[in-house]
Amino acid sequence: MFDNFDLMVDAMGQGLWVTIWVTAVSFIVALIIGALLAMMHVSPAPPARWVATAYTGLFKNVPLLAILFILYFGFPKIGIVLPSWQWAIIGLGTYTAAFVGETLRSGINSIDLGQAEAARSIGLTFGQSLRHIILPQAFRTVIPPLGSLLTALVKNSSLVLVIGVPELSAQAQRLINDNQDRFDLWAVILGVAACYLIVNLPISYFIRRAERRAQFAR
């Protein structure tokens, strides 16, 4: 079953590494854009709200794969050429940002109105009440959903194989397609499944823990 085991491990290891860093960088991009979107959503300037709403609606209702296609196959047609890994990060980041924005916004909105009122009534300024009262509580409620977004992003990162980024799934596909006689189908499949479990199960474990702790803390 395990002929050429070390070659397989090598390829999968590289793929796992690409999956991890693409996910990590995309998640940071998504957090930045998402925070911006959440701020635009709660801001008193209507144009900012409209743009944020349009962005969210657009990216939530178009399949990620279609977005990646538009970026990687479509944009070169209007003269914007980037290497595929950059498109992968832009695509995953902008897509996930819509969900991050919604999560952060609902986190802020989940705080009871009385908290803000209490903060103001003891004389805290807007900035102070945000910093000391609202955001710490909002942050706690959004940790679990942000964690689920991270696991979803790990899984979504497999889609970038269609634009030629050599991440985990792409490596598995290559191993199976190119080397049908040299690599055992089952070994590759078990390997790739194990890799995703190794990345995702700890995250969902920590989400559950964070969720329980958040429950006690309020």
82 near other proteins, judged by CB under 8 A: no
Q: Per the structure block, which two tokens stand in for 193?
A: 């499944």
Contacts with other proteins: how many residues (CB under 8 A)?
77
| 190-209 binders of other proteins (CB under 8 A) | 192-193, 196-197, 200-201, 204, 207
Considering the complex, state which of residue 7 and residue 118 has its C-beta at the smaller distance from other proteins: 118
Site mask for other proteins (CB under 8 A), range 154-193, x = bound: xxxxxx-xx------x--xx--x---x----x---x--xx
- Please compute Rg for the chain using Cα positions: 21
Report H helices in 70-184.
84-109, 113-121, 126-129, 135-156, 168-178
| 25-64 binders of other proteins (CB under 8 A) | 42-49, 51, 53, 57-58, 60-64
In this structure, the number of other CB atoms found within 10 A of the CB of residue 9 comes to 13
Q: Per the structure block, which two tokens stand in for 116?
A: 């803000």
Considering the complex, state which of residue 32 and residue 70 has its C-beta at the smaller distance from other proteins: 70
Cβ neighbors of 67 (< 8 A, separation 6 or more) are: 59, 91, 94, 95
Min separation Cβ 78 and other proteins, Å: 4
Q: Per the structure block, which two tokens stand in for 79?
A: 């003269």
Of 35, 65, 82, 124, the one binding other proteins (CB under 8 A) is 65
- Answer yes or no: are the C-beta atoms of 83 and 166 closer than 8 Å: no
Considering the complex, state which of residue 44 and residue 123 has its C-beta at the smaller distance from other proteins: 44
Q: Per the structure block, which two tokens stand in for 5?
A: 């085991």
| 86-145 binders of other proteins (CB under 8 A) | 96, 99, 102-103, 108-109, 111-113, 115-116, 120, 126, 130, 134, 141, 144-145
